[in-house]
Structure 1
Amino acid sequence: GDASIEEGVFHESANFAKLSNLPVLFVCENNLYSVYTHINERQPQRLITSIPEAHGIPTVHCDGNDIEAVYTAALSALDKIRSQNGPFFLLLDTYRWREHCGPNFDNDLGYRSEQEFMEWKVKDPVEHYRRKLLTKKVITKEADLELIDNIQKEITAAFDFAKNSPFPDLETAINHVYA
């Protein structure tokens, strides 16, 4: 996310990727917040893309809520990585709907306004694309409802499987850990 590029490990990774011409696609989800701090309070005078650009890494910035724009930008980035033999940085503007860590809404904490939340809610990429597919008659209402029902059944089955599965043996806790 946008806050991760403020960490030293990002600079180290970006610098190494550029120096070594590694074919790396860095994808940054700019959801505007680092825990409860808005990006304007953390980086008021700096564009996110200026950070990878300072390492000599080319960047593209697009609307992370526009599924087709993200797809096009990602394909373009991959083409550039392959043709230029080096890293690329893709910045996607979007919004964090739920709390920083967890499945709940946290609008009551006061770090963002209800108005801001609602302005972003209408940009929900899944719902926006769903409406687009229905409007363009790429999918019928019946097929859409069937898809939603099938997804819900798959989620329910996965939860049931997890709840009914035995806990793993303690002895296997560090299997496949190489640190």
Structure 2
Amino acid sequence: MHIQHVEVGNFRKLKAARIDFSETTTVFVGANNSGKTSAMVALRRFLVDRSDFSINDFTLQHWIQIDNAAFDWEKVPSGDPLVPVAWDRVLPFLDVWLNVPAHELHYVQKLLPTLDWNGSSIGVRLRFEPKDVQALQQEYLIAKLAAAAVMAKAEEASVEVKGCVRRRRG
């Protein structure tokens, strides 16, 4: 079995990138800040250590859509259904395309779309997505309230400090 190529989407610097693999060695070459590290991290996140995903792995240009969805969550009363988010457009994914010889077919039999498979490449999409959107909403709202409380305390402290400084001068 051989990974023919992968397609990385919505991951860090890579909105859409295709990486073809040689049968022996594949080397990433490119200018600084061109996405080589992003490609390697995507492969590691999806294929090796899936628990390390973070908001920083989302393509920056999609953060606005995610933020807008979150702002909508703030308006929905707890327990009410959420406004659906167009996750397909923003979630990081990795499409893996495999060339599988007939004698290794047993490794991928559960991936085959039909029993009429003709020996062409087999593709599998791996996507990072929330397991429970309702829980994600609640976690967001709790974190948002906690951040707002911290900011309010900081603002209070700032006003008090400014008041003390002015009295000393006067």
Q: TM-score range by the shorter chain?
A: under 0.3
Q: Quick one: higher RCO (CA 8 Å, sep 6+), 1 or 2? A: 2
TM-score, length-normalised on structure 2?
Answer: 0.25
Task: Give the structure with the larger strand fraction.
Answer: 2
